Amino acid sequence: MTEDSMIGRELNGFTLQSRIGSGATGVVYRATKGDRTVAVKILNEALGHIHALRRRFEREARALGKLQHPNIVHIEDFGVVDDVVFIVMELLNGQTLEAVLQRHAIEPGRALSIMRSVLDAVGFAHEAEIVHRDLKPANVFLVHEDTPDGEVEKVKILDFGLAKFLSIDELSKEGTLTRRGRVVGTPAYMAPEQITGISLDLRADVYAGGVLLYELLADKRPFDYERRSQLLRAHLFEPIPTFAEACRGLVVDERLERVVRKALAKDPADRFPDAGAFRDALEEFDASAVEFTLSEPPERTRSSAGTSSVVIQPDEREALTSSDDVKVPNGDDKEKAEAKDSAEKRPRVSSDAPTEIDEEPPVHSRSSLPPEARKSAATSTSTFPPPGQGRSSPWLTAFVWLLGLLCLGGVGFAAWYATTLP
C-alpha cells in the first residue's frame, strides 16, 4: 500500500493523522489540534493546479461558513498552505443516506423525519439566498448521538461546493459556477431548468428534494434510466409516475402524493417557492400516510446511474432541448416505448462528464455519406421540375384519356358493324 505523504503534515495548526475517505475531487483526513479532533478536506494533489477546482473548494467553505445550523456540517477554517487547498470541518461519525439506501429501504416514518431535517437545513440556506444545487442522498449524512432520552439520529447536509449565490458576495464578482454555457449537477436529481442551463433559483433545490422524498418513500427514483441522456430527457419531458406505478403494493395518502408531485413540477412556477414551504407542507404527515398492501416487499431494483456530479456541455444541452426532441405524453406504455426507441436511435453528443455516469459508445450519424456528400445532397435541386415547367396539366391528361377511349370505342363499333354486312 502506497504511503500517504500528507499524513503528519500540519495545516494552520491542524495535524493530519489518518485518511478517512476520498471522492472525485477531494480527500478527507482525520486531524487534531490540541485535544480537538476534526475532519480536513483537501483538494486532490493531482488536481491542485486546476484553478476551477480550487474555486469550488473556496466557494464551499464560504457558503458553509455563513450557514450555522444544526443540520449543516460546521466549517471551522479553510485556506491554502503551500499550494494545498483545504477545509476544516467538524468530524462526523456515521454514514451517508446513500450508503443506507444501498443496503435497504427506509421505513416511512424515518423517511419523513429525515426529509423534514433536510428541508430545515436547505430552507435555512435559502433564507441566506444560497442554493445547494446538488442535493442527493450522498450529501445527506446520518449521525447517531446518545442523549438522555436514548440514541437520536441527526441529519447533516454536506457539500455546498456547487452552491450558487443569488446575491453577489463581497469576496467575488461572480455569482455563478457555470461557465460558457456549461451546467453542473447530478443527473438523477437535476431540475429541468438546471439541465437546460437557464437561470435557476431556490426552486431547483425543491425539485431535488422532491426526487429525494420520492426515492425514500418508493425505494426508487422517479426515473431510473441507465444512460444519462435518457435520464435528463425524462426530467425534461416525461410525467412523474405515481407511487402505485413505481412500487407495487405501495399506497400513499393522496394529499402527501400531491405534495411530492408539486415539488416535482416541471415548471418552477408550479413548485413550492422554497424549501421552507416544502417542509411546512410535510408537517401534517406521519408514518400512517404510507402503507404497503403486500405481505412481501417487492424486489429492490435501485440503480446507481446518474448519482455523481457531472458537467453538461452546451452541445449536449442543445441536443436535449432541440425542437425535434422526444416529448413523452401521458400516453400508454406503447407510446412511451416508441418514444424511448426513437431517443435511443438519435445520435449521441460528446461530453466531458465522468464516463462511469454515462458509458455510451460513440454513435455515428444515420447517414453513411461523408460530410461533403451530405452537404451536396442537401443543397442540390430536385430532379422533378416544378409545376408549369415540363409537367402535364391534369386537364390535358384527362382529355387525352377521353380521346383514347373514344377512338377505342369507334374501332370496336366499326368491327362489329363490318360483321353485319352481307
Domain layout of the chain by residue ranges: 13-90, 94-345
Instruction: Provide the total of helices (H) and of strands (E) in the chain, helices listed first.
Output: 13, 15
Burial class (CB in 10 A: 0-12, 13-18, 19+), 200: buried
> Cα(259)–Cα(271) distance, rounded to whole angstroms?
9
pLDDT surpasses 90 at 253: yes
Is 120 considered catalytic here?
Answer: no
pLDDT at 417 over 50: yes
CATH of domain 94-345: 1.10.510.10
Q: pLDDT class for 381, splitting at 50, 70, 90? A: very low
The catalytic residue among 134, 205, 219, 274 is 134
Where b means 16+ CB within 10 Å and e means fewer, 45-57 reads eeeeeeeebbebb
Which CATH topology does 13-90 take?
Phosphorylase Kinase; domain 1 (3.30.200)
Residue that the C-alpha cell 424515518 belongs to? 110
Please tell me which residue, 345 or 300, carries the higher pLDDT value. Answer: 300
Residue 418 binned pLDDT confidence (cut-offs 50, 70, 90): low
| Whole-model pTM over 0.85 | no
Give Cα separations from 96 to 147, 264, 384, 398 (angstroms). Answer: 21, 23, 67, 81
- Please spell the DSSP secondary structure of 313-366, one letter per residue: -HHHHHHHT-TTS----S--HHHHHHHHHHHHHSPP----S-TTT--PPP---S
Amino acid residing at 31: A
- Write out pLDDT tens, residues 315-338: 887 788 764 444 433 334 444 444
